[in-house]
Structure 1
Amino acid sequence: MSAQELFVAAARECLSAGRKSLSVPQSLDLAAQVSAVDLGLKPALLYDSNGAGADQVQRYLSSLQSSQLVSKSLLTLDLNGNALIVNPVTVRTNVEQLFHDGGVSVIDVRHSLEKPAVADPLTEELKSMTHDLLLLLRGFELKEA
């Protein structure tokens, strides 16, 4: 099977929500986005193509990893029901920039807000959350080494 066929098969097998499975173009678009995360071109991907949950996204990612279509370093995170595919090294680098450069903007997109807002990256709550995230990401990197 070609890489394209493997990507489509994995998406259709792992990411169907009820009777809804991804079309070939959707599967290939997702493959391109996951590959961009794997290559470090983007730090993460919020999966929102259909109603598939984080467990299904994890199965999809594991299928791609076992087929050697993407590296084993990618992670799936479930943040309050939102599934993210994450490149821990790229995310860690971006988060570290938040502390060192101070030039990174943080956008608050909580549902409780009427519209997204630029957050102050220097609040104690955000600093604490960012510190905890860095520790978590470094832990994943150490497990792989």
Structure 2
Amino acid sequence: MNDSRSAADPVLPDERTLGDEHPVTLDCREDLAHTLAGRRDYERARIVCERVLDGRRRQQGSEHRDTLRCAQRLALLLGKTGDFGNARRMLEAVLRAYARHDGLDDAGVVAAHKALADILAAQGGPATVRHAEGAAGSQAPSNPAPLR
């Protein structure tokens, strides 16, 4: 990818044909955000991810699994850019949604717990499963362990 491109530039040659919120377009944009984050271009990744999240919310609803995964990724990017408060709020909302629909043993829930623990640790707070699960309004496991 040419570094002179804007984060808002079309990802696919057919993007205008498919539409901004076509599932393939959203998937490709989310991949772009992941690639940008891998290159430590967190600000551009955040911009792309916000656009994807808006599209997923409109197309699939706020609690669809793909929307929750995208919100979780955006929260991680917010943490990488130092916006810990919004990252934490977003992850807590994701955890509540997962708890309502998928239960606490789902892989997405586990990943969201770890992400929240990482954000709490970056803020200097306790980074345990018990604290993260409290954010989801659930019961903590009998053997909480630090997530680091």
With normalisation by structure 1, the TM-score equals 0.31
Larger proportion of helix: 2
With normalisation by structure 2, the TM-score equals 0.31
Larger proportion of strand: 1
